[in-house]
């Protein structure tokens, strides 16, 4: 059975984001409560220091998500390997053939960013629509 693209994107995005959103007393995504909800919550993350990535591979198209500091790499790895077909890397996603990415930030992410990279199975316009539907910012590869 082939997964639909929207199901795969949701699986990748939410299976990787939800563990961070569930931690901490303020919902900021980190066990120490940092990363959201405090006085620095309005400070935009830089989205530059990639701590790890997770590729979800299945019957349909693969999707890779990059996570930035201060998200702990060990948390990314644990969440990734518990996801169906998740493959962790300590580096960024392979962007060969990607049409674009969707950068997600906000209280459910914590102080870092998640960028979900879309493969050639989508057109750039489809990737932009999928990103907008998730409330993200489309970024070029």
Q: Could you read off the pLDDT of 10-64 as tens digits, one per residue?
A: 444 444 444 333 222 233 333 333 333 333 444 556 688 899 999 987 777 778 9
Half-sphere exposure of 45 (CA within 13 A, CB side): 23
Whether 123 is in a domain gets the answer yes
Q: How many residues does the chain have?
A: 141
The answer to the question of residue 105 being in a domain is yes
Residue range of the domain that includes 51? 5-33+43-139
Tell me how many domains the chain contains.
Answer: 1
pLDDT category at 84 given cuts 50, 70, 90 is low
Residue 89 lies in a domain: yes
Residue 93 is assigned to a structural domain of this protein: yes
Q: Is the dihedral of CA 137, 90, 118, 133 positive or negative?
A: negative
Residue 56's contacts (CB-CB under 8 Å, 6 or more residues apart) are 8, 11, 12, 15, 62, 63, 64, 65, 83, 84, 85, 86
Residue 112: which of 20, 9, 15, 12 has the closest Cα? Answer: 20
Is the pLDDT reported for residue 5 higher than 80?
A: no
In a domain, 58, yes or no: yes
Query: Is residue 16 situated within a structural domain?
Result: yes
Asked if residue 38 is part of any domain, the answer here is no
Distance, CA of 109 to CA of 51 (rounded, Å): 14
Is position 72 within any domain?
yes
């Amino acid at each position: 059975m082939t997964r639909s693209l929207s199901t795969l994107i949701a699986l990748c995005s939410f299976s990787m984001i939800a563990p961070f959103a569930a931690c901490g007393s303020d919902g900021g995504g980190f066990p120490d409560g940092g990363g959201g909800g405090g006085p620095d919550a309005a400070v935009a993350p830089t989205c530059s220091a990639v701590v790890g990535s997770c590729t979800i591979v299945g019957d349909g198209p693969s999707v890779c998500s990059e996570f930035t500091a201060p998200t702990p790499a060990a948390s990314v790895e644990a969440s990734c390997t518990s996801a169906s077909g998740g493959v962790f890397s300590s580096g960024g996603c392979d962007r060969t053939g990607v049409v674009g990415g969707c950068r997600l930030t906000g209280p459910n992410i914590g102080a870092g960013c998640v960028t979900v990279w879309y493969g050639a199975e989508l057109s750039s316009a489809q990737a932009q629509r999928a990103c907008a539907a998730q409330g993200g910012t489309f970024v070029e590869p």
